[in-house]
Amino acid sequence: MTGLPTPGATRLGLVIDLDICVGCHACAVNCKEWNTGGTAGPLTDLMPYDAMPDGVWFNRVHSYEVGDGAAGRTVHFPRSCLHCDNAECVTVCPTGASLKRAEDGIVLVNEDICIGCKLCSWACPYGAREFDEDVGVMRKCTLCVDRIYDEARPEAERVPACVSTCPASARFFGDLGDPASDVSRMVEARGGMALMPELDYRPTNRYLPPRPRGGGCSSHLNSPALEPAVPEGTGFLGWLDRLLSA
């Protein structure tokens, strides 16, 4: 049923720390690896060894330049499904294949009944859904629903593949519906951001903004050691400078 459930108490999602992410793409690669073999797989690759390889990935890492001059910085930005409370990718679905689970808020595609009309991808402003041309259905992040509830795994491993693999610990998984959870406290403390809040899709996932810059070496543009050398006009170097300037 493509009606949206009343948001439950549990809202599973990701918190991504943009201050820590180093843009290594390990989360995207491990996501692809896990999901091409998991219940969502295989994830199609089209012409993978060609000049223009194409294929389905649930997670994509962009890199941006933000700000100018001394305040400028590079921010790496992993982008995947945000598991919105007001998920219009679900309500536009004509078949009921696109669904949001009441018990944990995860947005999924039932690939057995999806007709591949692509309307859900048009309804998502975050570009989180990708069409699988091979199978003819829509694919998306499952929040590794086949990992996080797998009781055969040690409890510490019951997290999405992207979270388990992040070498910088920039990704966190938890219940954003519980204000006392680690992820909720992190969002509270760091001012976690929702993407495009003006559209009212009410995403579950949050992004922690880069931390404010301190002094010291945080900006090389202000470092005295890198100021242009001013010849003193004395000694051997001063003599050499005058000689070469002549």
Partner 1 sequence: MHPALSVIVFTVASGIGYGMLMLLAILLPTAAAPADRLFGAVALGLALAAIGGGLLSSTAHLGRPERAWRAFSQWRSSWLSREGILAVLSLLAIAALALVWPILAAPAPCIDATVILAGLLSAATVGATAMIYRSLKPIARWHNGWTVPCYLALALASGSLWLAWAGAATGEADVMPRSLAPCLVLVAAAVKAFYWRHTDRMQPVSSIGTATGLGGFGQVRPLDPPHTAENYVMKEMGFRIARKHAAKLRRIAGGLGVVAPLLLMLAGWMVPALDGPTILLAAPVATIGVLVERWLFFAEAKHLAMLYYRADVA
Q: Output 130 or 148, the one with its CB closest to partner 1.
A: 130
Q: How far is the CB of 52 from partner 1 (least distance, A)?
A: 4
Q: Which of 65, 59, 46, 121 is nearest to 90 (CA)?
A: 121
CA 19/CA 13 separation, integer angstroms: 19
Q: Answer yes or no whether residue 36 interacts with partner 1 by CB under 8 A.
A: no
Q: Which of 114, 145, 144 is nearest to 130 (CA)?
A: 114
CA 117/CA 173 separation, integer angstroms: 31
Contacting range for partner 1; rule: CB under 8 A; set: 115-123, 140-148, 160-168, 230-238: 115-123
Q: Answer yes or no whether residue 233 interacts with partner 1 by CB under 8 A.
A: no
Q: How far is the CB of 14 from partner 1 (least distance, A)?
A: 14
Site track for partner 1 across 119-148, x = CB under 8 A: x-xxxxxxx--xxxx-xxxx----------
Q: Output 27 or 143, the one with its CB closest to partner 1.
A: 27
Q: Answer yes or no whether residue 53 interacts with partner 1 by CB under 8 A.
A: yes
Q: Answer yes or no whether residue 23 interacts with partner 1 by CB under 8 A.
A: yes
Alpha-carbon distances of 72 from 77, 122, 175, 221, rounded to whole Å? 16, 33, 33, 10
Alpha-carbon distances of 89 from 77, 152, 204, 222, rounded to whole Å? 22, 32, 14, 47
Whether the bond between 42 and the residue before it is cis, its omega within 30 degrees of 0, is yes
CA 109/CA 1 separation, integer angstroms: 12
Could you say which residues in the range 160-219 bind partner 1, by CB under 8 A? 193-199, 201, 207, 209-210
Site track for partner 1 across 69-98, x = CB under 8 A: --xxxxx-x-x--------x-xxxxxxxx-
